Amino acid sequence: MDDSDMALRAEWLRRELHRHSHAYYVLDEPTIPDAEYDKLFNELQSLEEAHPTLRTPDSPTQRVGGAPLPQFAPVRHAVPMLSIRTETDTTEGGAVAFDARVRRELGIATDAAAIEYAAELKFDGLAINLRYEHGVLVCAATRGDGETGEDVTQNIRTIRKIPLRLKECIAPVLEVRGEVYMRRDDFERMNERQREKGEKTFVNPRNAAAGAVRQLDPAITATRPLSFFAYGLGEVQGWNLPETHGAILDALAAFGMPVDGGRAVVTGSSGLADFHKRIAGLRDALPFDIDGVVYKVNSLALQRRLGFVSREPRWAVAHKYPAQEQITVVRDIDVQVGRTGKLTPVAKLEPVFVGGTTVSNATLHNEDETRRKDVRIGDTVIVRRAGDVIPEVAAVMLERRPSNAGEPFDMYRRLHGKCPVCGSEIAREEGESDWRCSGGLFCPAQRKQALLHFAHRRAMDIEGLGDKVVEQLVDAGIVRTLPELYKLGVAKLAALDRMGEKSAGNLVSAIEKSKTTTLARFLLGLGIRHVGESTAKDLSRYFGNLDAILEAGVEQLLEVPDVGPIVAQSIRTFFEQAHNREVIEQLRAAGVHWPEQVVEHVAKPFAGQTFVLTGTLPNLTRDQAAERIEASGGKVAGSVSKKTNYVVAGAEAGSKLTKALELGVAVIDEAGLIKLLEQK
């Protein structure tokens, strides 16, 4: 490029970086991932270093961050909050280069003793300066542009990890600097709640943390699950500094500040490289996001000798890892069927390297989320992968949407109303965000879950049929439907990994024993959505036989105690599927049976009464007591409320007994229960 072209390129880069910086720092709506921003920034920085006349006072390279929001009072930093240099070489070469640079600046020979470094994790959050005066938190401010930040004291006070008073610290001024961040699990739960409410989800934990700290209403910040780690100091008055950075962090921890335990003091480039490699291996297992590690010369005396250059300390560097967000294109949208029948739209992507691996699929969660983000085939999107979290489409870059992009996603239209695996009808209940396949017993995608549920101790009670056995039976194609369980022999089972002939024989016996059951257990084992143990018993008592339930319409089902419209429709939808009925008939043909019951639509002695069991009864097990209560028409609940009629308390009864006494609920023991049953 000639001088004119370079000037135009530099101007364009400045405009783009300002635009993206404004979107990220001011609007809390990032438009590109970090890796893309870094590319533009590094290009501008290289241009300016090669041609200093291109550098302007407003260049993004001349400041640390974004301007403060006008709604917050400005806070002038007594000690500027500067950035540190980034080492983009993600190999051990980055550590070697930093150590060599430090030794060169200090004039230390290559054969001299190794330099000691403090090595820390580089948290992905929002930098905050906490000002303590005589041990009390008086002000909290964002980094802002490095010279002036935003007063967010009221919001920071809501973060419980940040102490309002330091332990045994009476220094007139002690400014603690660190990172406000959000744990991955907290972030996922928060986004799930947002999805359930039909509200906007957040792109990543860092963006969520930044948005929470900048809320004008502290009450909103208080609802966000924020955390904090301290990593350094600002202004200090009246406190004798330790001699090393590592000792400073130890002192802050003693003051009650949260300091990450993953830090270490290492020596030489090999120590730095080993730390970088070790943390890379742990990165996916960490409960929070990091995008690299930070190396600091440990000795404060050496730090002072090294000083600063271009507003960056010579004694520190950030050593990056592969980016956890990247840009790619949506080539198609498929639908996957989960173990429980949940239908999840999945973006088929132009393969992209993100979070240390090549990603070609990313979850879109559900139809509502796909529509909220307006993800369409052909869109350019930001893909995020962090830790063991499934890669997801975090945001759409609408300015790059092609003219031939697909229509807004419609699950029913996309699938023509049928499960893509088994062809069963798909259904979505009112108020729910997830579409589901209705062919639970028949759908191959749900086989493992259906078998495990069928074998549960409160359903068909097949002892020995656990996760690992079911996994092998399904993966090997030995069992494809529930009725095939009853064709299993010892020889076939004994051939499974870690099974053995004795265990195989026990399992065959347990399967044979399960043929004799109850109608309620059988109904529970079918895995009908919303039909739990209590509802299965209600259906069994009300109808008395399976055929009556199979033919019951929604109105008849609504006559069953505690069966509402959603449950009734779920039952009806399940039994309307021809293949579900076929599985039921095959199970009956295999010998699964139960005694017929006398149908009693008249009120039973305990009809409408609720019992709660707590503690250990002297003679009856919890299940036996529950069965006797339910046989008389009573309900057994898991918690005590004002609607509870009786609490049956045994030995070592706990909080349920306390709650009953507080509410004035009648409390009886086992003898009292038996007497009540006999009287009724």
Residues 6+ apart with CB under 8 A from 621: none
DSSP-derived pairing of the beta strands 392-396 and 316-320 = unpaired
User: For the chain, how many residues are written?
Assistant: 680
Residues 6+ apart with CB under 8 A from 90: 319, 320, 321, 322
151 φ/ψ angles, rounded to the nearest 5 degrees: -80, 110
| pLDDT for res 340 | 84
| pLDDT for res 609 | 84
The answer on pLDDT for 69 being more than 70 is: no
Answer with the residue of higher pLDDT: 143 or 655.
143
Predicted confidence (pLDDT) per residue in 643-666, tens digit: 899 999 998 887 888 888 888 899
| Phi-psi region at 632: left, alpha or beta (left = phi > 0; alpha = psi -120 to 50) | alpha
199 burial level (CB within 10 Å; 0-12, 13-18, 19+):
exposed
18 HSE (CA, 13 A, CB side): 9
Q: Which of 29-33, 159-163, 673-677 has the lowest mean pLDDT?
A: 29-33
Over residues 621-629, mean pLDDT: 85
The answer on pLDDT for 601 being more than 80 is: no
Q: pTM above the 0.85 mark?
A: no
The answer on pLDDT for 495 being more than 80 is: yes
Rounded Cα–Cα distance for residues 240 and 300 (Å) = 12
Answer with the residue of higher pLDDT: 72 or 65.
72
Answer with the residue of higher pLDDT: 150 or 652.
150
Over residues 584-589, mean pLDDT: 96
> Annotated catalytic, 122?
yes
The answer on pLDDT for 526 being more than 90 is: yes
Answer with the residue of higher pLDDT: 628 or 232.
232
Predicted confidence (pLDDT) per residue in 179-206, tens digit: 999 999 899 899 888 887 778 888 889 9
The answer on pLDDT for 149 being more than 50 is: yes
| pLDDT for res 22 | 67
Is the sign of the CA dihedral 206, 208, 213, 214 positive or negative? positive
Q: What is the mean pLDDT of the chain?
A: 89
Q: Is 540:598 a contact under the CB 8 Å cutoff?
A: no
Q: Is 399:19 a contact under the CB 8 Å cutoff?
A: no
Segments of 124-248 assigned E as strands: 126-133, 136-142, 148-150, 173-181, 227-237
Over residues 495-522, mean pLDDT: 94
The answer on pLDDT for 563 being more than 70 is: yes
The first and second tokens of residue 209, run together, are 């943390």
The answer on pLDDT for 445 being more than 50 is: yes
Q: How many CB atoms lie within 10 A of CB 408?
A: 11
| pLDDT for res 63 | 53
Rounded Cα–Cα distance for residues 122 and 639 (Å) = 45
Residues 6+ apart with CB under 8 A from 578: none
Over residues 97-103, mean pLDDT: 95
Banded pLDDT at 91 (limits 50, 70, 90): confident
Of 399, 436, 394, 400, which Cα lies nearest the Cα of 415? 436
Rounded Cα–Cα distance for residues 398 and 620 (Å) = 65
Q: Which residue in this structure is represented by tokens 């271009």?
A: 310
**What radius of gyration, in Å, describes the C-alpha atoms of the chain?**
32
The answer on pLDDT for 459 being more than 80 is: yes
Banded pLDDT at 65 (limits 50, 70, 90): very low
DSSP-derived pairing of the beta strands 610-614 and 646-649 = parallel
Q: In what order do the strands lie in the sheet with 136-142?
A: 136-142, 126-133, 173-181, 227-237
Spot the catalytic one: 39, 122, 515, 680: 122
Q: Which of 56-60, 155-159, 233-237, 620-624 has the lowest mean pLDDT?
A: 56-60
The first and second tokens of residue 86, run together, are 């980034």
- For the chain, first and last CA: distance in Å? 97
Q: Is 103:306 a contact under the CB 8 Å cutoff?
A: no
Of 389, 395, 385, which Cα lies nearest the Cα of 330? 395
Exposure string of 486-524, with b = 16+ CB inside 10 Å and e = fewer, is bebebebbbebeebeeebbeebbebbeebeebbbbbbbb
Over residues 661-674, mean pLDDT: 90
**Domains recognised in the chain with CATH numbers:** 3-62 (1.10.287.610), 85-320 (3.30.470.30), 325-415 (2.40.50.140), 444-589 (1.10.150.20), 610-679 (3.40.50.10190)
Rounded Cα–Cα distance for residues 81 and 598 (Å) = 79
- The distance from CA 419 to its chain's CA centroid, rounded to whole angstroms, is 27
| pLDDT for res 426 | 93
